[in-house]
Amino acid sequence: MSAGPASAGPAPAGPAPAEPAAAESAPAGPAAVDPPPTGRAPADPPPTPPPPTESAPPKAAPATAPGADPDTAHRAAPTTAPGAAPGTGPAAAPDTAPGTAPTPAPAVPHAPLLRPTLFALVPAAIRAVRGELRHESPITRHAIRVTAVAAAGYLLGHLLPLGHGYWAPMASVMVMRPDFSQTYSRAVARFGGTLVGVALATGLVQLAHPGTGLSAALAVLCAGMMYLLMRTGQVAAQACVAAYVVFLLGMGGQQWTQTVPERVVLTLLGGVLAMIAYALYPAWETPRLRTRLADWLIADGRYAAAVVDRYAHPAGKACPDVREALLAARDARVAWQEAVDRAKNEPVRHRGLSRAAAADAEETLAQLGRVAMLMEAHLPERGDTPVPAAARLAEALRKSTEQGAKALRERRVPKWEAVRAALDEWDGEGVPDRVVRRGAGLLLETLDELSDALDTSPPPMLVDGTSTKRPDDDGPRNPEGPAAR
């Protein structure tokens, strides 16, 4: 872009206006500056640059006016924005380029997680002990059983005309566990392994008549085999232990005729004492399945309520209350599954909760947790539009699951009228509203399926002998109902 020719008189103080033709033909670039007042016009105007071709990039407009010193003009020329009037000074640089997103702020590093010290774990240990100091606790019952059986076994072992009386309480303590199935299986396996071990060791002693050195070598071999076969089961490990005891006592001069009967009788006594203690003071899991299921329902309900409440109070993805509720729900699910596994091998009948009902209820509560996790994945960011109706729904979920857990413990079918009423009174709009409303419908549908799984009463019969069925037993649910919104 070039400036027009100067007049013969003194040049004006301001810059000369640029020619329109040159301004239209020159590409965007730094604006030209006016020539210094020299008192005469330049000899010839500069030639117009050729138009850009495909092979060569376009040339920039001349940065100086004709007749001006390029070096001086380069140092003195101010930078102006394209389209701005020349001589107005440098233009302010924008924060970001047009069409580009602003650079995000660097993330603040989180503090590293530190392992708690021994003294920091003392309050947690005290809380755990206090939580188990109750009559219904399986751990408390197990502690009472072990204490009573160990004292009784030690007393009986010393009263009997046998040596090594401590073998009886030791066998009892080694086989006793908080649940019946493990106690029974370990007692039978320990006694069977003892019989196998003393039989093999007695036969070897009768055939080889080993001396002290050979007995020591056989004892070491049996001890090594015990450690190798420890994870294969109680039978193999106890067989090696029984043979080890026979060889070890043989090194001290005791005959197998004395060692074998003592080992067998005292091991049998310890196992019998353990089984009697469990029969007199049991801790069956089968009658407590409803309580375990109710605890899981409360934990899942609190987790779902915490997630839904975050749609009413957006706080982003980092929500400590949601995280704590999720961990509590996982712990409750693990406790339920362990209780079901222990109840399968108990010699008691179910009390109001069959295996089929337990399996169906477990599936529905797992589905409830999955729906809540799906809603957690779409939590609104901080500053998004809140959904006020979500707060009412969260409170309804929390109260309904607590009331449903109480009904479950009392062998009643839980109802979810509060959740259904909160969905019927729903008001809101926007993307977060649609997400939480759809998720709430899935939550209500899952809770209804839980009630169906726990309702084991037979349906009423019609006059013709056929059973009544609800409209939503077959086919999809009503698309106009609250569960499908």
Average pLDDT score over residue span 473-479: 40
Whole-number pLDDT of residue 200: 92
- Weakest mean pLDDT among 74-78, 427-431, 449-453: 74-78
Distance between CA 65 and CA 400 in Å, rounded?
Answer: 83
Q: Is the pLDDT assigned to residue 474 strictly greater than 70?
A: no
d(CA 167, CA 154): 8
Domain definitions of the chain by residue range: 138-280, 286-346+354-458+471-484
Structure confidence at residue 3 (pLDDT): 40
**Rounded Cα gap, residues 271 and 273, in angstroms:** 5
- DSSP per-residue letters across 160-228: SS-S-TTHHHHHHHHH--SSHHHHHHHHHHHHHHHHHHHHHHHHHHHHH---HHHHHHHHHHHHHHHHH
Amino acid at 254: Q
Q: Reduced to 3 states, what is the DSSP secondary structure of residue 430? A: coil
At 348-378, the pLDDT tens digits run 766 668 888 899 999 999 999 999 999 998 8
Q: For residue range 308-343, list pLDDT tens digits in order.
A: 999 988 887 778 889 999 999 999 999 999 989 888
Query: Distance (Å, rounded) from C-alpha 244 to C-alpha 230?
Result: 14
H or E segment at 236? helix 234-251
At 455, the pLDDT band (50, 70, 90 cuts) reads: confident
Give the separation between CA 187 and CA 175, rounded to whole angstroms: 5
* pLDDT single digits (tens) 12-52: 444 444 443 333 434 444 344 444 444 444 444 444 544 44
Average pLDDT over residues 269-275: 93
Residue 363 — φ and ψ, nearest 5°? -65, -40
Q: What integer pLDDT is reported at residue 314 of this predicted model?
A: 86
Structure tokens at 304: 């779902």
The mean pLDDT of 88-104, rounded to a whole number, is 46
* Average pLDDT over all residues of the chain: 76
In this prediction, residues 123-134 reach a mean pLDDT of 88
Q: Is the model's pLDDT at 234 over the cut of 70?
A: yes
Residue 164: per-residue pLDDT: 85
**Distance between CA atoms of 288 and 352, rounded to whole angstroms?**
11
